[in-house]
Amino acid sequence: MDLFQYDFMLRALVGALIIGLAAPALGIYLVQRRLALIGDGLGHVALTGVGAGLLLNHSPVLVAVIAATLGAVLIELVRAYGRTSGDLALALLFYGGIAGGVTLVGLSDASTGSLNAYLFGSLTTTSRTDLITIGVLGVVLLVTMLVLRPALFAVCHDEEYARVSGLPVRALNLLIAVGTAVTVTIAMRAVGVLLISALMVVPVATAQQVTRGFRSTMTAAMALGLFAAGTGVWVAATADTAPGASVVLVAIGSFLLVALAAAGLRALRRRTRTDRATSPAEPAEHEVLLR
Amino acid sequence: MTPPVIEIAHATVGYDGRPVLRDVSLTVTAAEVVAVLGANGSGKSTLVRAALGLVPVGAGSVALFGTPQRRFRQWHRIGYVPQRLGAGSGVPATVREVVASGRLARRGVLRPAGRADREAVAAALDAVGLTDRAGDPVSTLSGGQQQRTLIARALAGGPELLVLDEPTAGVDAASQEAFSSALRAFRDGGGTVLLVAHELGPLRPLISRAVVVHQGGIAHDGAVPEPAGHHADPGHEHVHPHCDEEPARLWTGI
């Protein structure tokens, strides 16, 4: 592994691994809530933060965290209280976010190259400060998602029941929203605004092809995220491809492989089952027999 | 004297300013098994949802265990069984994981599950006869078994009051049997039950009092009314679906 003798490659690898582990740990709650693409939208909003940061000569990542958090809270409020216009409000926020970002970056002295770095990721330029930010936020995120797993599971699984259980539903929802914003901003370094949802969602989608429970899905998704991040950076270093895109392609490749294998296994199992289909017929489901 | 378990006084409940229930009062005391009956769209589900704070009460008051509902915090004393599991989430969850959610009201958000929690979950699964399915994804269960999962979730918290919203709608015969025996055991242990039903079926002998909701008001409060019309016919098989085309869905806001 000569490639990793360079500091910048090592930093890229460590950053990618942290994100690979943390992103699915949060993404699973988004998938459970069928909000898989929310991360994508928040990435757009984060871009406005990046633009503002570049324009004001402040740390773009920090301003992006603030912008994405505000966006996430706004989306959560729309989700909780909004009615029919929720869909439109989200669209306005997302497209406003990306347009604002492009405009602000254009106004600043930054080159189009730096816009590209945020759109598609730029792992190899990860600085020591970036790595510390990613590390601290990643660990806080991971610990929160793991410690609060039962409560977050309950809220995402059945919100009304969670309310009758006396859980702080609003606070937990906001926590997921803010966690999404934080994940988006730290993952922005690795895969870029446009590919963020992939790291949060694809490992979860892969895991649930074979898992039966929530906890096992979460564990498997985190392992898959770690694998995709490590392999992706290695592929990028050897084949000289874009690291962010390579990580995402590895994740999607794993999904296809696992999905095909799982489908094959299911077909095989079904065949063996019909071969010995002598078991007594089970009662039909949803049978209504009231007297 | 201990305060009533549920006390709804002159409550008006509505959605978007359109009242569904007007000036409704209902008191449930400890160890009662009260059935709320009524036609689809009568407001019977709204009544229990208002009692739990799931729909806001406009005028009037609601108290749980003697505490005004807004200030009520002892949610572990209540087990809620919704009409059905939500549309099914994107991520698989085992029966045991869903039932374990029922312990959260008791142990709080931060404390990890301990031995007492695991034992309560196992006991609840046993009470509804789903121990052998504990490791299976909920989505692979039949409608009746999913309903039993939700009852086990409510029982796992060790509640004093069980609130059930149409627990037997669209449930197969085996599940109905498992369900009424679980409910009987709960009542025999001193528990209080408030349940919404369209049809009582095998639950009938368990009910101590019936409340009939009709056109946004309470039309009857007392003995369980005899079934009328063709529903009373002993040979009547209740085969038309209740839940899927239910117009009630339009205003319960689900």
pLDDT for res B229:
53
* From B86, B110, B173, residue closest to A158, measured CB to CB: B86
Pairwise CB contact (< 8 Å): A167 & B109: yes
Pairwise CB contact (< 8 Å): B93 & A153: yes
Give the residue, A118 or A89, on which the prediction is more confident. Answer: A118
Mean pLDDT, to the nearest integer, of A142-155? 93
CATH number assigned to the domain with residue range B6-92+161-252, chosen from the 4 options 3.40.980.10, 3.30.1490.480, 3.40.50.970, 3.40.50.300? 3.40.50.300
Q: What is the 3-state secondary structure (H, E, C) of chain A?
A: CHHHHCHHHHHHHHHHHHHHHHHHHHHHHHHHCCCCCHHHHHHHHHHHHHHHHHHHCCCHHHHHHHHHHHHHHHHHHHHHHCCCCHHHHHHHHHHHHHHHHHHHHHHCCCCHHHHHHHHHCCHHHCCHHHHHHHHHHHHHHHHHHHHCHHHHHHHHHCHHHHHHCCCCHHHHHHHHHHHHHHHHHHHHHHHCHHHHHHHHHHHHHHHCCCCCCHHHHHHHHHHHHHHHHHHHHHHHHHHCCCHHHHHHHHHHHHHHHHHHHHHHHHHHHHHHHHHCCCCCCCCCCCCCCEC
pLDDT for res B244:
41
CA neighbours within 13 Å on the CB side: how many for A179? Answer: 28
Pairwise CB contact (< 8 Å): A151 & B91: no
Which single residue is written with the structure tokens 């370094």?
A189
Mean pLDDT, to the nearest integer, of A212-238? 94
B144 touches chain A (CB under 8 A): yes
Give the residue, B167 or A203, on which the prediction is more confident. Answer: A203
Give me A247's structure tokens: 């990580």
Residue B74's nearest CA partner among A166, A168, A158 is A166
pLDDT for res B198:
80
Minimal CA separation from A215 to chain B, in Å? 8
pLDDT for res A253:
96
For chain A, domains (ranges, CATH) are: 2-194 (1.10.3470.10)
Pairwise CB contact (< 8 Å): A283 & B113: no
One digit per residue, the tens of pLDDT, for chain B of length 254 reads 688 999 999 988 887 777 888 889 999 999 899 999 988 878 888 899 999 988 888 888 899 999 998 889 999 999 999 987 765 567 899 999 999 999 999 888 888 888 999 999 999 999 988 999 999 999 888 888 898 999 999 999 999 999 999 887 777 888 888 888 888 999 999 999 999 988 787 788 889 999 999 888 888 888 887 765 555 444 444 444 444 434 443 333 33
B26 touches chain A (CB under 8 A): no
The single-letter DSSP state of residue B181 is H
* Chain A residues touching residue B65 (CB < 8 angstroms): none
Tens of pLDDT, residue by residue over A149-200, are 999 999 998 888 999 999 999 899 889 989 998 898 888 877 888 788 889 9
Q: Where are the domains of chain B?
A: 6-92+161-252
Least confident of A33-37, A213-217, B23-27: A33-37
Q: Which of A161, A202, A269, A286 to mutate to test the interface with B (most CBs of B within 10 A)?
A: A161
Give B65-70 contacts, CB < 8 A, sequence gap 24+: B65/B3, B65/B5, B65/B160, B65/B161, B66/B2, B66/B3, B66/B4, B66/B7
Minimal CA separation from B221 to chain A, in Å? 23
* Chain A residues touching residue B153 (CB < 8 angstroms): 161
pLDDT for res B16:
73
Closest chain A residue by Cα to residue B99: A154
B104 touches chain A (CB under 8 A): yes
Pairwise CB contact (< 8 Å): A34 & B90: yes
* From B101, B173, B199, residue closest to A153, measured CB to CB: B101
- CA–CA separation, B169 and B146 (whole Å): 12
ipTM score of complex: 0.84
pLDDT for res A277:
52
- CA–CA separation, B184 and B176 (whole Å): 12
Residue A5, classified by CB atoms within 10 Å of its CB into exposed (0-12), middle (13-18) or buried (19+), is: exposed
pLDDT for res B88:
56
pLDDT for res A2:
62
Tens of pLDDT, residue by residue over A240-258, are 888 888 999 999 999 999 9
Mean pLDDT, to the nearest integer, of A124-142? 87
pLDDT for res A165:
92
Percent of chain A with pLDDT over 70: 90
pLDDT for res B248:
40
pLDDT at A107 over 60: yes
pLDDT for res A3:
64
Q: What are phi and psi of A163, to 5 degrees?
A: -65, -45
Give the residue, A92 or A23, on which the prediction is more confident. Answer: A23
Count residue pairs from A and B with Cβ separation < 8 A: 138
Instruction: Name the helix (H) or strand (E) containing B20.
Output: strand B18-28
Least confident of A42-46, A133-137, B211-215, B225-229: B225-229
* From B74, B94, B143, residue closest to A285, measured CB to CB: B143
8 Å CB contact between A188 and A46? yes
SS3 B38: coil
Mean pLDDT across chain A, nearest whole number?
84
